[in-house]
Each structure stands twice: as structure tokens, then as C-alpha cells.
Structure 1
Amino acid sequence: MVITAVVTEEEVGHLRLPAQKVAHQLPHAEKTDGRVVPIKHPEGSKVDFGAEIYGIDLNQFTDADFDFISDALHKHKMLVFKQQPEMLTPQQQYRLTSNFDPDETTGGFAHGHDPFLFHHDGTDFFGIPKRPAIPVQPQVHILGRGPLPDGHFGFPPDFEVQGIDHEEFHLPPHIPSEEREAGASRFYQWHFDGSLHNIPPPRVGCLLAVQTPKGPDVTVRWEDDKGTEMKMAPGATAMVAGSRALQLMDEETRKIVMHSHIEYAPHAFVWMSTAHSTKLGHLLETEGLEKPLDQLPKWERNKVCIYPMVWTNPKTGEKSLQVHGQGAFKLYLKNRPDGEETIVEDLKEVRTFMDKIMRPVLQPENIYAHPHKEQDVILWYNRALWHSITEFPKSYGPRIMHQCNIAASDHPVA
């Protein structure tokens, strides 16, 4: 069953999905059996985040387990839960994610309310073809590409998740199909999770690997003048740390980003839907193809998101450059708290500055490409890391992931 309907963010905004929020209350325990093992990155890598967690069954985690998880996540920024006895249930995946924000009360999906998708066997399904929601816990969505396992949470037996393809979004020329099938790949979009309009971005993101593609490593291409490439597992999620991006800046640029803000476009993903991404997936090409503001869904000035460029980890105090280059609409730049503010409105100038602060960290030595293993769960601090999916040959089979990210109770501050 392949669903081909196209749903816009405007339609999403006018449809409501009843929240099925679970209680934040967790079973009590005096101690945890959790163990942290930092990930050993290869020689030459500059990546300084990531750890594996052992000894915690996420289908039965306690309050002591969660305290341990929270401390470990804010320190290591990305956790991989290994040796899970059974596949994580959607209800427990939502419980894990929602406990990072006890003040959040709506249980809402980070991109707004899902539209009706189809009806099957007495159940209404919501979402979009590339991101259907699981009925028993609609804050958990299915991502990836390919057919679902038989009987998967009531979905029709022939249902296929529609994958994301760089040919739909990136500036041509695209990677030829024969080269893609031989393992050539791209980063699709470097981002933090969030709607960039009205809804606060999630504090954490969570992915469960249900099925992973099987085949040799792919080669991700930068397609730059240097011929930069990086090998990684098929279907890997690539990540970089905003703290590393700050480290790589010259002192003058660092002073600017520490005191500056970004205004994101109203309904940013509708606004950018008619434009092209750069090949690296970090910016939009400046071609004048963005959807005009008067053609966007109705919006109000007080719902436009203006965020600091640098966000602070509340437990460690670490600073991270946390920006979404493609959604950037306007910049408010100053190099000290009481300094004169320069407003940059020309999109070409906005993107020149965003390229300056983003591109240096987007190099192989700074990127961790997580090789998903079936039944493993990854959890990352969405307010300190950027991530991107990567493409892989269709012949490698399906990539089926359960994702949970929830709108936060607060917008980020510096």
C-alpha cells in the first residue's frame, strides 16, 4: 500500500490529533544498574560526544534509571541503548522522551498536529506518507523507506513508508541512479528537530531501529572542489556537535554568534518547499524560489521564532552553536551584549554568514555517523547536536525507524 497524497503544513495546522499522553510518573527504585561506556571514535576523529548505555531495559525503566539517563545524556549528548531484551514499545518510547520535559502538558508532536491519512480495519491513521504516526501512541512516527513488517501496529499488510530523496529538494545535478545504487550518497539536511515556527523545539530526540538496510558502507559525497568524501554504514544518522562548531571559529566570529540571533521564516518548511537545498544540505540556494510570505499559511508576527545562535546546556553549562541554516530568514548581529546591532535581511548575505559559521564543522573528522543496529535505541540532546539522514541503495532493503520528538514547554535561550 503506497500512499501518494501530498499534505501541506497549512493542512496540518488545521487538523487536530487527540493527544494520548502517558503519565510522567515512573516506577520507583533506589538505584540503577545502568552503565556508561563512552564511544571510542577512530584515530583522527575530533568527535567528543556519544556513549553506549548498558543495564537498563527501556521497557521497564525506573525513576532511578531516568535520573542516570538524564545525567548521562546532558554530559555525552548522544546515548545508544544496547542489549535491549525486546523492541521498545511506542508507549515507553514516548514515556522516555516526555520525561525530559515534565512541564510540557500538551503531549504535542514537534511539528504540530498530524492530518488524517487513511482508515484501515477500524482504525484511523494520521500523519503524512513519509511520517505516519503509530495509532497506539501518535507522538511516535515511522520514518525511513520501504515496506513495514507484517502486522506492524495495525498498518495494512502492504503499507510502505515513502523515503526522502535528495532529488526532490537538492539543487541539480543530482547523483545518477547507477552511482547511487553503487553506494554514492549525500547528507539530506543538517538540522535540529523543530518546526521553526511557533512551536518550541524538542529537548531530546529518540530513534528506535526496527529494520536497517543491509549492504556495504556507502560513500557520502560533499561534491566540493576538494572531492571530500566519507564512508559510513548505510542508513546512518550523521551528527555533529554545536560546541565543536564554536571551537572552530575565529575569536571575532565567536564573539558575534555569542550575542546574535536568527529569525526563522514564518512556516519555514512551507516557505522553503519551493526552493533548492545546497548539495551539502546545510543551506538553501539563493535563487528567489522561496514561497512568498503572502502565499504562506496565515501567520502572526508573535509566532515567528527568533532564537539565539548559541544555546546553553542546563546541566553542564556548555555552549553550542545551534542553528538551522535552511530556515534562516533574518540575522540580528552584534559582538557584545551592549553592542550596536546589525540587521541582515538580504537572503544571500544571510546565507553567506550561515555558511561561514556552519561549513567548518561539517567535515569528516567532526562527524559521527551512527550505524543503527536493530532493536537499539538512540537518544540525543536536540539542543546541542545537529543531525542529517544519509541515503543508501534501494537494493539494501528497508530502513524502518520509530521516532519520537515532542514540542518543548519552552523556547531555547542563550
Structure 2
Amino acid sequence: MPSAIKDIRVQPLDHGPKSNVDFGASVHGIDLNNLTDADFDIIHEALHKHKLLVFKEQPQMLTPQNQYGLTRRFDPDETTGGFAHGVDPFLTSHNGVDIFGLPFRPAVPVQPQVHILGRGEVPENHYQFPPGFKVKGIDHREFHLPPHMSAEEREAGKSRFYQWHFDGSLYNIPPPRVGCLLAVRTPKGPDVRVQWDDGTGTEMAIAPGATAMVAGSRALELLTPELREVVYNSKIEYAPHCFEWMSTAHSTRLGHSIETEGLEKPLDKLKPWTKDKICTYPMVWKNPVTGEDSLQIHGQGAFKLFLKSSPDGEETVIDDLGEVRAYMHKLMRPVFEPNNIYAHKHEEQDVILWYNRALWHSITEFPESYGPRIMHQCNVAASDHPVAARPIPS
């Protein structure tokens, strides 16, 4: 008998008539644990078209090995297979098995490019982790500018965007092409209300533990024509070891930039770095399959701006951090309105895959009483650094 023909369906997500979100699709009929070359061809085309794919109805939980295999296939020229943020430090050991990573991002021993994110206790006998092992959750009180939300407000369902970003170390290592999240355990409870806390009074109801996303193409579209020309011709230099550099500073309450208080870790106190490994990226990146352009900028890591209003125009260098951040705010803030944001509600055993070079995302907080949020995340350093959507003369 001939083999059965798969019923594979890629359906664009319905965001409703009041939404400006134009990305995302659900995928049915592909078993990611038994991925074929034909399946991957469909995924590759669909991901670049829709930028976010949600894989529904997985027969079994995606294994870390297969999650890594799926993620790595998007970059066949990448040979090291390394984690996008570099080598993990030693964390703990159990039954002779060393576990690497950070308390909020431990690596899965059987596939160390896959990390556990979220908050709370991992399931019993979970990939060689010790009994009762808990993942330390993110907490805006440890990073955001005061005043913070009280414990009572948080338990009542108030939330924040923790950090708007695309994945990448922003130093030496090229940012991943794709990101992949598997929902192992999800919090259970009513929607939370995300607070902008930037003086505008803006808020948004989302599912607890949702991953919020915006499209860089929409951010680009919202700029004035004059600003759009600038970003097409301009570059950002990111701080060396920028996450260590910003670790002693405060994020804005919206999670898109750093407050200029002089609290950044001095450059001579960072772990060793060299100028040749500093990342300087164009502001606008092109989708290699669809040709769509996206404003891809990381407001928190920005250290210096090289601004030009035309290819042959005079370059203005901005190296005052306050001015850098004010300019980044001008570019980023317009897209942060509820009708431009998709907050993905994770359902256990579902997998989401996104094009990391076209979307920005942020984790969101939820009440501790809602239970654990345990996610497997995989992103792999790319073989190439991003190039400008239009050539920028040196």
C-alpha cells in the first residue's frame, strides 16, 4: 500500500479586527520528533513568511535532542553548534552529572544548547536534574527602575514586560537565526494586566506567562519618512559583554532601554574583551526569503550610534549614553502599543519557533500562586553576522 499523505496545514493566526499584528501561523500535521526533509522545507518557507510558527497537536513532548536538531537546521553553514551566549559556567552536579548554566537558565545535560527558562520546580526525573530542582524566575525588582510593583499587586495580577530584545550575545557571537520554545509546564490562572508604567497609563491583558512579540517590520513602518531613511543608513555599536555591563544598572520600567544613572559596570571591570570582537550592526535587516525589511535594534545593549541620513551623507557619531538611549527610545517606543503586540499563550507540549532576525520579544511576569512555568529554549549561534538591508558605505 502507498504511504499515507500527510495533512499538513499552515494557518495564519487570527489576531482580530483591532490588531495591527500581521505575523504568526499555527502548524498542524508535523511531528517534530520525527521530522523529515520535506517537513523541514515546509517549515523553512513558512517561518520566513510568517516569522512565528506555533506547532500544535504534538504527539509527544519534543525531546531536547530533536529541539536542537530542528533549530540547527536553519543554519547548515554553522559548524560549532554553540549556545548563542557562549560557554555556560558550572552550576551544580547530581549523580555524577555536571549541570551548567545560570540559576535562571540551566542547560539540559543531554543537550546543553537547550536551556530551561521560567520559574518553579521542574518535573520529577527531568533529564538528569536533581529532585526538587527549581528554576529561578526573572523578577523586575532585581532589574527595573524603582518604584516596583508590590508583592500584593503582583499576586493580584499586575505584570510587566521584563526585557524587549532579540536573542544574541551582542559581543563576538553572531545572533541566532531562529529561536525555539517548548512549553513543558505553564502557569494556571486568570489573565494578568501588563503595566507600561511609563506615565502613559497604558496596560494590556494577556495570558499568564505569555511571551510578548512585536515585528521589526511594523516598528520600521511606524517611523517618520525622515527617520526611516536614517535607520536604513545607520549602525549601532553594542557594549562589550553588554549583559554583564548592564547587570549593575536599571532597566526602564517598559523593559526597552537602560536608565542613564551611571550605574553600568565600568568597561575595565568586565571580563576580558577586545575591540575586534565588539558587534556593530546595521539597524535594518532583510529577510533573505521574502525580502522584507525589519528594524532590529537592542535598546538596552546600545553603546554608540553612527547616524547617516543618506548613503553619502555625513556621519554623526553619538557616544553619550543618555543621547544614545533617547534616540533608541524614539525609534522603539512607537511600536509598543497593545494593537502591535502579540502575547503568545503557551499550552503544554506546544512548540513555538520564531525568526529571531525579524521579531523582538519579552517575557512577562505572573503571580507565583499560578504555579510553575517550565520552558525548554534553544537558540544556536549563527554562522554569520547580520548585514544591512541596504549597503552602508564605510
Normalising by the smaller structure, the TM-score range is over 0.9
- Cα distance, 1:33 vs. partner? 4.0
Q: Which residue of 2 aligns with 1:380?
A: 354
Aligned partner (choices 36, 40, 58) of residue 32 of structure 2: 58
Q: CA deviation at 1:31?
A: 7.8
Verify the 8 A CA contact 1:32 1:68 in the aligned structure 2: no
Give me the whole-angstrom Cα distance separating, in 1, the residues matched to 2:177 and 2:4. 26
CA distance in 2, matches of 1:149, 1:224: 38
The one of 42, 46, 61 equivalent to 1:68 is 42
Quick one: distance in 1 between partners of 2:260 and 2:354?
A: 31
Tell me if 1:317 matches 2:291: yes
Supply the RMSD in Å over aligned alpha carbons.
Answer: 1.1
* Alpha carbons 1:59, 1:92 under 8 Å: kept: yes
In 2: Cα distance, 1:178 partner to 1:91 partner: 40
CA distance in 2, matches of 1:339, 1:219: 45
Which residues of 2 match residues 160-239 of structure 1 at below 5 A?
Answer: 160-239=134-213
Q: In the alignment, which residue of structure 2 is the partner of 1:12?
A: none
Give the residue type in structure 2 aligned to 1:160.
Answer: K
Where does residue 244 of structure 1 map in the other structure?
218
Within 5 Å, give how 1:334-349 maps onto structure 2. Answer: 334-349=308-323
For residue 334 of structure 1, report the CA deviation from its aligned partner. Answer: 0.3
Distance (Å, rounded) in 1 between the aligned partners of 2:323 and 2:375:
37
1:290 positional shift = 0.6
- CA–CA separation in structure 1 for the residues paired with 2:5 and 2:218: 34
What SS does the corresponding residue of 2:218 show, helix, strand or coil?
helix
User: Paired residue for 2:128?
Assistant: 154
AA in 2 matched with 1:404: C
Partner-residue secondary structure (3-state), 1:378: strand
Residue 254 of structure 1 aligns to a residue whose secondary structure is helix
**Aligned-partner Cα distance in 2 for 1:197–1:30:** 48
Alignment of structure 1 residues 9-408 onto 2, 5 Å: 33-408=7-382
Deviations 1:162-215 (A, max 9, x none): 001000000000001101000000000000000010000000000000000000
Checking the alignment, whether the CA contact within 8 Å between 1:30 and 1:64 is kept in structure 2 is no
Give the fraction of aligned pairs with identical amino acids, expressed as a percent.
73
**Secondary structure class of the residue paired with 1:354:** helix
Moved more, 376-385 or 111-120: 111-120
State whether residues 110 and 201 of structure 1, in contact with CA within 8 Å, keep that contact through their aligned partners in structure 2.
yes
Report the Cα offset of residue 223 of structure 1.
Answer: 1.4
> Which residue does the alignment assign to 1:18?
none
Report the AA paired with residue 128 of structure 1. L
CA contact (8 A) 1:187 1:391 kept: yes
- Aligned counterpart, 1:13: none
How far is 1:34 from its partner?
A: 2.3
Post-superposition Cα deviations, 1:299-346, rounded to whole Å, max 9, x if no partner, equal 110000000000000000100000000000000000111111100001
Counterpart CA distance in 1 for 2:243 and 2:227 is 28
Q: Secondary structure in 2 aligned to 1:79?
A: strand
TM-score (norm 1): 0.92
Q: 1:238 to 1:98 in 2, by over 3 A?
A: same
Unaligned runs of 5+ in 2: 389-394
Q: How many residues align?
A: 386
Structure 1 stretches of 5 or more lacking a match?
Answer: 1-28
State the secondary structure of the residue aligned to 2:33: helix
Instruction: Please report the TM-score for the alignment, with normalisation by the length of structure 2.
Output: 0.97
CA contact (8 A) 1:31 1:64 kept: no
Aligned equivalents of 2:366, 2:93: Cα separation in 1: 31
For 1:221 and 1:337, locate their aligned partners in 2 and report how far apart those are by CA, in whole Å: 40
**Moved segments of 4+, more than 6 Å:** none
Moved more, 40-49 or 184-193: 40-49
Separation (CA, whole Å) in 2 of partners of 1:371 and 1:363: 18
Residue in 2 that maps onto 1:16 = none
Moved more, 38-47 or 325-334: 38-47
Alpha-carbon offset, residue 32 of structure 1:
5.8
Deviation at 1:30, TM superposition (A): 12
Aligned residue number for residue 8 of structure 1: none
